[in-house]
Amino acid sequence: MKRLANIYIILFLLDGIISLVDMVTARCFGIHPLFAIRGVVAFFPFVLAFPLYCIIGCTRGFPWRVLFPMILFIIWVGLFFALPLPFFLGIQNTEFALSVAQVVLGILVLVGLRCSSQNGQWLYGMSAFEQLEFRWPRLFGFVAVNVFLVGPLLCIYVGVSASAGISHFSQGFVHLNAKGVSVEVRTYRHNDKKILLLPTVHIADRSFYSDLIAGLPPEKTVVIPEGVTDRKNLLANGMGYEKLATSLGLVAQDNQTLAAELPTNSCDIDISMLSPEVVDFLSAISALFHNSDSGNYAMTLLKSTSIPAPDINLLWKEIIEDRNRRVTDCIYDSLKNYDYVAVPWGAGHMPGIEKDLLAAGAVVVDSRRVWVWQRACAAPCGKSR
């Protein structure tokens, strides 16, 4: 038991150091030289955390005060990536902060063990494990606490954190609560004309798309649909979500319904406009969706994971920011000939588009809620409000 505890402490600190060095190198030079090693080393503290947690819970005399904070830290980070930090700090800043925290915690553990040791040892000695005793009452109590207290509290924490994080990240365009998932449609006035931002999700029930466009004026209205093209067939498996949506009993983003037989002004990009590394990444993701129910899925997954992911900043710039600028330009171009411009684009684009609209003098004049998914209610639940 002593060896297991000491190995865990060493792996915990080693994982933190490797992660921190990798993050610093990425920030300074834009590369991740230790990414693969980091993934392998991080696997072991996460896996060992659960048996150690159980041992602490059902064994009397285990020196848990030192190991317990490390175990909780690893479970918190490993299971939910420290929700809701990524939504508020961003993925890279969160990884950096967690790496620093892990190294600091690991060093504090070593210093604490050395200070409490009579022989000045940096790790556990045999004397710390001389009075271990397994007890059935502790086991039953441990199981009861986890089932009736820790489990429900964990679910509440994840729900509240995810709700706060998603709302913050989407600038309130997406809401997650106990009732379900909804999006917020907002109407803006710009020089006596109206712009409607209709945040969509790429897979939903068909009724969602109908509810989203409800109330669009039938005259003097143009729709700017989202829809990346691939004229050079760079993605061998296509770009759609149709296969995945069908397997879930839903439909992929229904631009035909969203257009509602109104005039359209398409301004989205073509795949050929993206960087080669981004195209390769999208092609790998597309292959996973396309082969999700085939016998070659394992091989497809292996090939996909072997393709290095592009830099997150490059991915964000080309998939989100550059397309946001195109749709914003298209909005103002469309306002020359129409009184209403409807923009049914992915919810992830809405904060950036709204920022550009507000900077140009547009003002929010109305909003309404549309449910993407709503749990069954005892009383009738409205689709929108």
Render pLDDT for 152-190 as a digit per residue (tens, 0 to 9).
999 999 989 999 999 999 999 999 988 899 999 999 999
Q: Which residue has the higher pLDDT, 375 or 364?
A: 364
pTM confidence score? 0.78
How high does pLDDT run on average in the chain?
A: 86
Q: How confident is the model at residue 299 (pLDDT cuts 50, 70, 90)?
A: very low
* Minimum mean pLDDT range among 23-37, 103-117, 278-292, 319-333: 278-292
Same domain, yes or no: 116 and 223: no
The stretch 6-14 carries a mean pLDDT of 94
Domain range spanning residue 111?
2-168
More confident residue, 163 or 80: 163
| Strand bridging mode 174-177 / 193-197 | unpaired
What count of other Cβ atoms lies within 10 Å of the Cβ of residue 182?
23
Distance CA 22, CA 354 (A): 35
Flag whether pLDDT at 215 surpasses 50: yes
The pLDDT of residue 258 is 81
Amino acid letter at 213? I
Q: Which of 96-100, 324-328, 370-374 has the lowest mean pLDDT?
A: 370-374
Around 242, how many Cα atoms within 13 Å sit in the side-chain half-sphere? 6
Contacts of 308 (CB under 8 A, 6+ apart): 277
| pLDDT recorded at residue 302 | 44
**240 pLDDT tier (thresholds 50, 70, 90):** low
Domain end point (choices 139, 168, 197): 168
| Distances, alpha carbon 366 to alpha carbons 195, 197, 209, 244, in Å | 11, 11, 19, 34
Whether residue 217 is predicted with pLDDT greater than 90 in this model: the reply is no
- pLDDT, residue 283, reads 81
Question: Does residue 360 fall inside a structural domain?
Answer: yes
Query: Which band of pLDDT confidence, cut at 50, 70 and 90, is reported for residue 20?
Result: very high
Domain annotation covers residue 175: no
The residue out of 134, 168, 202 marking a domain boundary is: 168
Buried b (16+ CB within 10 A) or exposed e, 234-273: bbebebbbebbbeeeebbebbbebbbbebebbebbeebee
Whether residue 212 is found in the same domain as residue 357: yes
The average pLDDT across 35-54 equals 90
Number of domains forming the structure of the chain:
2
Asked, for residue 380, whether it belongs to a domain, the answer is no
Q: With 60 as the cut, is the pLDDT of residue 232 above it?
A: yes
- Residue 21 has which token pair? 């060095």
Residues contacting residue 179 through CB under 8 Å, at least 6 positions apart: 374, 375, 377, 381
Residue 384 falls inside a structural domain: no
Residue 187 lies in a domain: yes
pLDDT of 341 reads 96
Identify whether residues 242 and 163 lie together within a single domain. Answer: no
Q: Residues 22, 64: one domain?
A: yes
pLDDT digits (tens, 9 = 90+) for 25-43: 988 887 878 888 888 899 9
223 and 338 assigned to the same domain: yes
- Which is more confidently placed, 294 or 39? 39
Residue 307 pLDDT level (bands cut at 50, 70, 90): low
Q: Which of 360, 262, 268, 375 is nearest to 322 (CA)?
A: 268
**Chosen domain end from 168, 193, 209:** 168
DSSP secondary structure letter of residue 371: E
Tokens 């929108």 -> residue: 384
What pLDDT is recorded for position 300?
Answer: 44
Looking at the structure, do residues 115 and 189 belong to the same domain, yes or no? no
| Residue 138 sits in the same domain as residue 29 | yes
Is 379 part of a structural domain of the chain?
Answer: no
- Residue 223: which pLDDT band, with cuts at 50, 70 and 90? very high
What confidence score (pLDDT) does residue 12 get?
A: 95
Residue indicated by tokens 């494990």: 129
Name the token pair of 120.
Answer: 């000045």
- pLDDT class of 63 with cuts at 50, 70, 90: confident
